Amino acid sequence: MYEFFPGNYLWSYNVWAVMAAGGQFGDFSLIHKRLLDNVGNVETWNQEWSWLAEKLEQRGHEHLSTGAGASASEHYFLASLYYKISEHFIPPEDRKRLDTYAKVLSCFETARNNSRHPIESVAVPFENMTLPAYFLPAQGDSERSPTVIFICGLDTTKEITYLRVRREFAQRGFNLLAIDTPGVGEALRLGGIATRFDYEAPVGAAIDYLETRGDVAADRIGIIGSSLGGYYVARAAAFEPRLRAVVAWGAQYDYHAVWHRRLTVGGASGAPEFQLMYITGKATMEDALAAIEKFKVEPIGERITCPILLVHGAEDQQIFVEDAEKMFKAIGSKDKTLKYFDAVEGGAAHCQFDNHYPALLYVADWIENKL
């Protein structure tokens, strides 16, 4: 993975995360030098990405004032993205994090309302609460279309999901439900909903919701989970028979072991350590580790019988190749595929953020085949 900040994996990886979601290198060039001069300074990271977000927000406002809503929408999408990455390293107890996240949602909402392509904001009933989501309808003439649920990982959100995927599934005739589940995005930040091991519960709720819609083919529902979402969707596949196809975009064999390794012998991560405490709702790392003790595929792998695809980077520094191979071996499905992306074709890093588009096309092709 090329490092924009030599020797600093965390910052470099998160720049690639921005680019995977449609960030513009020209925009990044405006702040790269100032970031380089202050590598590792969290305040500088927040200030520079926020400054860039404000510039895009202003561009969007100028387009709106002239009636160019479609162009305004694209600028506001980018402003939302840049605000999101600006809050990435801010501890959750710092009010600035929620204040910045409010700008993420506000800019995305302005973008959504001015987009030429429909993006429906929905609330998915779940236990005694709701999970916020975006529903992107399929293009075409079908009355009921197959649907893909997309679940994020440790510190991405439904807004990032949309910006990563955009209309790739819609133009292939698929609906997309980008949802913030327990421990993710708005459900965590505003709803206070911590993560949980039994992810068949929120996924089942998402399917329940989809089954109420007249534009969804209820017997053709698949799911994609990115990064930690790779565990979430594997768990759901083991206990939710209504799923017809599953993609773990970033294999996760034993998430507890991953964090134990990071905290003892070291290892790369795409987010600060406090993020694990944040998503689990715990005050200490010891309690956070205990909360993810059951985040393992081995005990439930044989229960996964639907078609499943594992997509992994051959040089993933966060989740090692050995973990992907163990997960693949543990899965009971007769229709299972493990796809590596390497440095030759690009996308060798975690979740292929360093060359996202080829992996997206591969995943979309696979889903199209299976659903």
Domains of the chain: 1-116 (1.20.1440.110), 118-371 (3.40.50.1820)
Task: Say what the pTM is.
Answer: 0.97
pLDDT in tens, the chain (371 residues): 999 999 999 999 999 999 999 999 999 999 999 999 999 999 999 999 999 999 999 999 999 999 999 999 999 999 999 999 999 999 999 999 999 999 999 999 999 999 999 999 999 999 999 999 999 999 988 899 999 999 999 999 999 999 999 999 999 999 999 999 999 999 999 999 999 999 999 999 999 999 999 999 999 999 999 999 999 999 999 999 999 999 999 999 999 999 999 999 988 999 999 999 999 999 999 999 999 999 999 999 999 999 999 999 999 999 999 999 999 999 999 999 999 999 888 899 999 999 999 999 999 999 999 99
Query: Across the chain, which distance is largest between two alpha carbons, in Å?
Result: 58
Burial of 99 from C-beta contacts in 10 A (0-12 / 13-18 / 19+): exposed
pLDDT given for residue 120 in this prediction: 98
User: For residue 18, which of 8, 29, 7 has the smallest C-alpha distance?
Assistant: 29
pLDDT given for residue 300 in this prediction: 98
Burial of 264 from C-beta contacts in 10 A (0-12 / 13-18 / 19+): exposed
Distance CA(155)–CA(185), nearest Å, equals: 7
Q: Would residue 220 be called left, alpha or beta, if left means φ above 0 and alpha means ψ between -120 and 50 degrees?
A: beta
Distance CA(135)–CA(137), nearest Å, equals: 6
For 273, other C-beta atoms within 10 Å of its C-beta total: 13
The sign of the CA dihedral 354, 359, 364, 367 is negative
Element holding 231 (H helix, E strand): helix 229-239
| Residue 37 near residue 8 (C-beta atoms within 8 A) | no
**In the chain, at which residue ranges do the beta strands (DSSP E only) sit?**
120-126, 129-136, 145-151, 175-179, 216-226, 243-249, 308-313, 336-341
**DSSP-assigned beta bridge partners for residue 148:** 176, 222
pLDDT given for residue 267 in this prediction: 87
pLDDT given for residue 310 in this prediction: 98
